[in-house]
Structure 1
Amino acid sequence: MICVSLGRTRHRMMLAEHQALAQRGAELVELRLDWLSRAPELQRLLKDRPTPVICTVRRPQDGGRWRGSEEERQTILRQAIVSGVEYVDLELDAAEKIRRYGKTKRIVSFHDFQGTPENLEEIHAQLAAKDADIVKVVTTAQSPLDCVRLLKLARSAKVPTIAFCMGEIGLISRILCGRFGSPFTYTTFSADRVLAPGQIVFDQMKNLYRYDRITTATRIFGVIADPVAHSYSPVIHNAAFQHDGLDAVYIPMRVPADQLTATLKAYGDLGVEGYSVTIPHKEAVLTAAQFREPIAEEIGASNTLFRDQNGNWHAANTDYEAAMGSLRAGLKEKGDADLSGKRCLILGAGGVAKAIGLGLIKAGAIVTVASRTSKRGAALAAQLGCQSIGWENRGAGFIDVLVNCTPVGMAPNVDQSPYAGNWLREGTLVFDTIYNPENTLLIKEARERLCLTVSGLEMFIQQAAAQYEHFVGRPAPVDVMRDALRRAMSAAH
């Protein structure tokens, strides 16, 4: 079950949002009474409540806003119990002083906003001993391994236990905790009012991740990156799963660079079957695979990691074919899809630049690399066997194809371009690998100067479609993925 936390300073707004949540399908709402600017009017809040309720009055040391005395706080909690509220949330010390009464169930909780203690089992036992119907242990993930510890705690507990981690690293545990036995997870009413680090919006948990449909049989996939919050991959992959009727979920997973190996092992033990891989893991992830596709080895980077039926991990690079297909499609508009002999300038020296550069070299193109970091540009050029130029000289030569592999122009910095508009020549093919926004400033200026253009959106969709086929062994619903991405990007802006 999904519990939505409501924190408003006015009773009127808390009541209105409670009604709105019920209409959107919410089944359980937590009333954060500590957010109210004046003493809670419990009769008003509870009389005609449209869903079951958890009453919570959280102190500052527990991550709340309560400004009154401890005696007043406990009085409110007792009044909520006498009023017959479905659940009341009690910290360890309050649980010792507030007795059970009526049918109200007791959630005895522990929160750590700094990290994840070593003695989780001991803390859990202390909470369970305080006449708990449900134990709640919520910590802050400093490592993906903290998420694994909390999920395993929920799975092994004899008393029903809500257990997950806060923070961006902890998102996987919020989405999967029900699979491991948690009675419910917590979300927020809107992105503008997050009551705890890492909370996501109710509609996302319900409709994007389909939390209530996740079971022990649900297949798990995700994108590993650092950072990862900006990724649209969950939108398109989950849309594809839903369209195809597959029991699967795709989750954003923030994994720090120095924790990749340990995380892959631990998440594999949780049942994760495949990953999209992006910055900063594309090169390091190759070592995690027993089998590597030749093109991934040649590029020295992988954007896809998937497990076969025998449990072996495979590394692939779907950027390569997606990029080359996008380039050839762009050239077809000119009636010439042959890259042989074309003078191509690549801006950037990262993993995508390497994949595209290798593809262009194999196609017989004449490639030049320009990077904002001259050493990286020179190193990539040496690997590809082509030339490099200084970033300041990128607009000096005659080119047939321009490929931007830098993040310059990506949202929110949409007023920037890596290549001045007056350097563009009519008929040049301009390929911007950025997909958000679809029409970058570089693409707009290229069209104004009658260049051929290819946006990064199509490459992003094609590489994701190839990943999907690796993950589930069937062709991806490309149109569904494309439409889902465009809707999500439009809603974000």
Structure 2
Amino acid sequence: MTLLCVPLVAKTVEQMMADMAAAKARGADLVEIRLDHLSDFEPRRDLPLLVGDRPLPVLVTYRPKWEGGEYEGDDKQRFEALCLAMELGAEYVDVELKVADDFVRLISGKKPDNFKLIVSSHNYQSTPSSEELSSLVARIQAAGADIVKIATTAVDIVDVTRMFQVIVHCQVPMIGLVMGERGLISRLLCPKFGGYLTFGTLGVGKESAPGQPTISDLLNVYNIRQIGADTKIFGIVGKPVGHSKSPVLLNAAFKSVGLDAVYVPLLVDDLVNFLNAYSSTDFAGFSCTIPHKEAAVGCCDKVDPIAKSIGAVNTIIRRPSDGKLIGYNTDYVGAISAIEDGIRGSQGVGKETVSPLAGKVFVIIGAGGAGKALAYGAKEKGAKVVIANRTYERARELANLIGGHALTLAELETFHPEDGMILANTTSIGMQPNVNGTPIRKQALGSYSVVFDAVYTPRATRLLREAEESGATVVSGLEMFIRQAMGQFELFTNLTAPENLMRDTVMRYT
């Protein structure tokens, strides 16, 4: 079982002890005591307090500056402190490969039975080749490590595949982590690939290395205790992905139906490279978001006819029988049905056969994947579609495709052929952290009776607030998000989506 370790990086012994108690309460298996972070550390005074009477097993690290830590003194004092920690009963001590030979000689014949030495190597620039990583594992083993630890940095998410490969083939216990946001899955999927431990922090700002998630997210969002060798992996492919609530939503839904699966954020720069690298059927399906929805069409072996017509894929399924990639689009149903229901709700009418969009001027801001989905859906419902985009050529291209009209964003400010129009923003303008952004000035909103914003973080964007103040019915991107996610869940699992649970989950986390 992969252990959950909370790094303790407080400046005082008192705070470190308080954090240790908090780590136990949150469900940690052990803590890493980072002695180099203590501002006034005195080994003989402080170590008996930290190691002597403690609620959890401890891993003691005294990381020097030259390996990414805070300690700037000589190795003699550092080694004395680590030896004392071992003598006081610390279960683990971490020492760097560069000085491992010296430390191993120092503790030779003194190691307690329940003590394990972690020998570590950190690369803050990149992730070496598989061959170099394997060679590094051999060197660390030869240095006398009980546990091998290698931490590298992800320049691209593809780098993580090399770490997974090395962990799977390592003959001794191994901690293999890839730092940075692109390496996050190395921390989340540790149990699947046999990693000895992974780190989870007590909160944001308490990380000991770049890209560490919180222990709360590991346990409650990713259900890491349930991940094993047979767990299927799904995820959201995008750039950025840190804002996405999809992992919260889909993991809760998977758990509710007892599915052995996990859904993770995947910060992807190049979709083709990503899909080629993660080609195992264990990587069973992906949600695609900005900027990969259009590129995904060309990456799939087969594309659903509607997704092909739209020219954008937001869901990719890897067929278990042959590993072929099948592309779908659940955005258009999610968005259009949300807007239709918003209009019907404001008018107090039920579902008629004729769409309330029929005959209306439907203005879409953005000509990317989501813009294409809305344009297709609105046209299907009989609306008169207008595309406004920062790059006019892209607006004209989409407008020609669906038989609509194209505008520049500047022209949109004075566009007013009739009252009671519908406006849909499909760009990321106004999304966290740039919450003060809006794609259109408030003065121009008076012509619209309904305004939809695909952005759902924050829930009430500036566009929606100003539209409501201008008298329009507003439809949150959260509605589209929930509905398209339900469609994805059903494609991923062939099960009916647990709608009430998914709605409750989204409302709780946004």
TM-score range, shorter chain: over 0.9
Partner of 1:128: 141
Instruction: Report the more deviating stretch, 163-172 or 446-455.
Output: 446-455
**Alignment partners' CA distance in 2, 1:476 and 1:92:** 50
**Structure 2, unaligned runs of 5 or more:** none
Which residue of structure 1 aligns with residue 35 of structure 2? 33
In structure 1, C-alpha distance between the alignment counterparts of 2:213 and 2:117, rounded to whole Å: 25
Give the structure 2 partner of residue 6 of structure 1. Answer: 8
- State the partner residue of 1:451: 472
Q: Which amino acid aligns with 1:273?
A: A
Is the contact between residue 2 and residue 212 of structure 1 (CA under 8 Å) also seen in structure 2?
no
2:94 pairs with 89, 93, 97, which one? 89
CA distance in 2 between partners of 1:270 and 1:180 (Å): 15
Aligned residues: 487
Q: Equivalences for 1:139-154 in 2 at 5 Å?
A: 139-154=152-167
Any runs of at least 4 consecutive aligned residues in structure 1 with deviations exceeding 6 A, and if so which?
A: none
Are 1:281 and 2:299 counterparts? no
Shift in Å, 1:434: 1.4
Quote the Cα distance in structure 2 between the aligned partners of 1:10 and 1:322. Answer: 51
Q: Distance in 2 between matches of 1:347 and 1:290?
A: 30
One-letter code of the match for 1:285?
A
Asked if 2 retains the 8 angstrom alpha-carbon contact of 1:2 and 1:211, the reply is no
Cα offsets for 1:302-360 (capped at 9, x unmatched)? 00001233133210000011112112112213247332211111112211111111111
More displaced, 393-402 or 28-37?
Answer: 393-402
**Pairwise CA distance, 1:164:** 2.1
In the alignment, does 2:495 pair up with 1:474?
yes
Cα distance, 1:427 vs structure 2: 7.0
Give the aligned partner of residue 46 of structure 1: 51
- Within a 5 Å distance, the mapping from 1:204-215 to structure 2 comes to 204-215=217-228
Q: Distance in 2 between matches of 1:231 and 1:146?
A: 22
Per the alignment, residue 175 of structure 1 pairs with 188
1:226-237 equivalences under 5 Å are 226-237=239-250
How far 1:452 moved relative to its partner?
1.9
**2:454 paired residue among 421, 424, 433:** 433
Paired with 2:364 and 2:208, the residues of 1 have a C-alpha distance of: 44
Cα offsets for 1:22-61 (capped at 9, x unmatched): 1121111000111011224110111211000000010112
- The farther-off stretch of 301-310 and 279-288 is 279-288
- Deviations along 1:154-176, one digit per CA (max 9) or x if unpaired, are 11011111112111111111111
Q: Give the percent of matched residue pairs that are identical in Structure 1 and Structure 2.
A: 41
Residue matched to 2:509:
488
Q: Which amino acid aligns with 1:326?
A: A
The counterpart of 1:376, out of the listed 391, 394, 408, is 394
Secondary structure at the aligned position of 1:417 is classed as coil
SS in 1 for 2:277: helix
2:325 maps to: 313
| TM-score (norm. length: structure 1) | 0.95
Matched, 1:244 2:249: no
| CA contact 1:148–1:270 (8 Å) conserved in 2 | no
Deviation at 1:426, TM superposition (A): 7.5
User: d(CA) in 2 for partners of 1:367 and 1:286?
Assistant: 23
Distance of 1:188 and 1:440 partners within structure 2: 30
Amino acid of the structure 2 residue aligned with 1:294: P
Q: Is the 8 A contact 1:32 1:57 kept in 2?
A: yes
CA contact (8 A) 2:30 2:57 kept: yes
Q: Report if the CA contact (8 A) 2:188-2:218 is conserved.
A: yes
Structure-2 separation of matches of 1:449 and 1:76:
66
Partner of 1:324: 336
Distance 2:227 2:306 in 1: 35
Q: Which amino acid aligns with 2:6?
A: V
**Alignment CA distance shift 1:261-1:70 (3 Å):** same
Question: Could you tell me which residue of structure 2 aligns to residue 75 of structure 1?
Answer: 80
Letter in 2 for 1:136: K
Alignment partner, residue 61 of structure 1: 66
Distance 1:272 1:225 in 2: 16
* RMSD, aligned α-carbons: 1.7
Contact 2:355 2:381 in 1 (8 A): no
Pair 270,111 (structure 1): closer, same or farther in 2 beyond 3 Å: farther
Q: Give the 3-state SS of the residue equivalent to 2:181 in structure 1.
A: coil
SS in 2 for 1:269: coil
In structure 2, C-alpha distance between the alignment counterparts of 1:92 and 1:323, rounded to whole Å:
54
2:422 and 2:448 in contact (8 A); partners too: no
Aligned equivalents of 1:440 and 1:93: distance in 2?
Answer: 52
- 1:102 matched to 2:112? The reply is yes
Structure 2 distance, partners of 1:413, 1:122, is 45
